[in-house]
Amino acid sequence: MRIYLVGGAVRDKLLERPAGDRDHVVTGASPDDLLALGYRPVGKDFPVFLHPESGEEYALARTERKSGRGYHGFEFRTDPAVTLEEDLARRDLTINAIAEDADGTLIDPWGGVRDLEARLLRHVAPAFVEDPVRLLRVARFAARFAPLGFRVADETMALLRHMVDAGEVDHLVPERVWAETRKALAEPRPSAFLQVLRACGALRVLFPEVDALYGVPQRAEFHPEIDTGVHMEMVLDAAAAIAPGDDLVGFCALGHDLGKALTPADELPRHVMHEQRGVAPLRVLAARLKVPAEHAALAELVCREHLNAHRALELKPATVLKLLVALDALRRPERLETFLAACLADKRGRLGHGHDDYPEADYLRRARATAAAVTAAPFLAQGLEGPAVGAAMERARVHAITEMKQGSI
């Protein structure tokens, strides 16, 4: 029995990146061998075990054979005769197909070290096309490693296009699409995720509402980048910088301008009412991907209200309170922070505006704190009951925000 460190742990060590999960491959062993050593089985489709002390994953070396459509259509073979090289051959990218033995020696049959140095995302073998999830994984790795200069190898991009043309991506279930999308939105450069999907044709299949934004013009005085799709990419990257690793902010950014694809041609490049028009396609997208309820709800609020955030200093105090209530920000201030992060990303996701100030955010935070300080107690003490208490509190909150705005408190 031999044990090797594999995959992302080896890749990230070579890239001098922080260590993540440590996965291992075991050759020359059976499930009974690992059980006898105290390893705990966790794999359902193939033998994966947890180390009795470290809790790290140890998988028996295996091979895969395509037996149907989509990512479920595989048969696995795992026995002591399966070699490390055979196991590495089933992996997606060469940079993920590097192993390290106990002495620190690298086993790299597919040139992963070379591709790390060349900053290339390259598939291991032609069998790559058999699993459509790999297309999404390549796009996600592009979002992770684009800041380091990585790009998709030409021959791998050709395979991605082939997978789209062959209809393999049509067999992806929503849960897998969302799982990879969610991770991509939390990466340092989510725009690369969209760019790879668009380059291979998968964006129009999986995210038609987003794909429709490309080529739609905006007013140059507000959007020097002009193209709405390019703006979307810039907003996603701004969101990743403002709220690193926060896929909720990322999804809000992704859905904020979908209505611009629905602007009548004779109104372009103006986009009057795009925030209202965007709600319907956003709901379709969220339902199709089966995104979490909070993601769908907050993304819709950002879509509908982001222009109000941008002009918060001009809004009447009653309108500011209405916005805060819509966000449920008086009870849940974290919702306001997510909303403001996405709106700031929209403000900065424009050519030449990457470092713009956003005083509207601080104003809305102060308005929230001011309104939340108004409680029901004094009105109950006055003998008010039921709806009368709520109405009195609303009047008091509007008055408090007015005074705050005027600088009297």
pLDDT tens for residues 313-332? Answer: 999 999 999 999 999 999 99
Q: For residue 231, is pLDDT > 50?
A: yes
pLDDT band at residue 79 under the 50/70/90 scheme: confident
* pLDDT tens-digit readout, 326-360: 999 999 999 999 999 999 999 999 999 999 999 99
Does residue 244 have a pLDDT over 80? yes
Higher-pLDDT residue of 156 and 126 is 156
What is the pLDDT at residue 47? 80
Q: Which residue has the higher pLDDT, 53 or 153?
A: 153
Mean pLDDT calculated for residue range 164-188: 96
Alpha helices in 30-132 (DSSP H): 31-36, 84-89, 112-118
The pLDDT, as a whole number, for residue 69 is 52
Cα–Cα distance for residue pair 348/363, rounded to 1 Å = 18
Quick one: pLDDT at residue 268?
97
User: Given this model, what pLDDT does residue 65 score?
Assistant: 66
Residue 45 has a pLDDT of 64
The answer for residues whose C-beta is within 8 angstroms of residue 68's C-beta and 6 or more apart is 74
Identify the structural domains of the chain with CATH numbers, from first to last.
1-118 (3.30.460.10)
- Whole-number pLDDT of residue 409: 46
Task: Check: CB of residue 86 under 8 Å from CB of residue 71.
Answer: no
pLDDT reported for residue 63: 84
Written as six digits, the tokens of 90 are 């089933």
Residue 66: the pLDDT is 58
- Give the containing element (helix H, strand E) for 247: helix 247-255
d(CA 121, CA 119): 7
Mean per-residue pLDDT, 66-74: 51
C-alpha pair distances (Å), 220 with each of 209, 216, 224, 227, 403: 23, 12, 5, 9, 37
Confidence of residue 76 (pLDDT cuts 50, 70, 90): low
Mean pLDDT along residues 159-177: 94
- The pLDDT tens digits for 13-67 are 999 998 778 899 999 998 889 999 999 988 776 688 999 988 899 999 988 765 5
Task: Of 130-134, 191-195, 243-247, give the lowest mean pLDDT range.
Answer: 130-134
Element (H, E) at 372: helix 359-372
Average of per-residue pLDDT across 139-168: 97
Mean pLDDT of 244-266: 98
Per DSSP (E only), the strands in 95-229 are 99-100, 106-107, 120-121, 151-152
Q: Is 18 exposed, middle or buried (0-12, 13-18, 19+ CB in 10 A)?
A: exposed
Angle at the Cα of 261 from the Cα atoms of 258 and 263, rounded to 5 degrees = 115
User: What mean pLDDT comes out for the span 258-265?
Assistant: 98
State the pLDDT confidence band at 68, using cuts at 50, 70 and 90. Answer: low
Assess whether pLDDT exceeds 80 at residue 72. no
For the chain, the average pLDDT equals 93
Q: How far, in Å, CA of 14 to CA of 10, rounded? A: 6
Q: Are strands 57-60 and 23-27 parallel, antiparallel or unpaired?
A: parallel
For the four alpha carbons of 106, 108, 113 and 116, in that order, the dihedral sign comes to negative
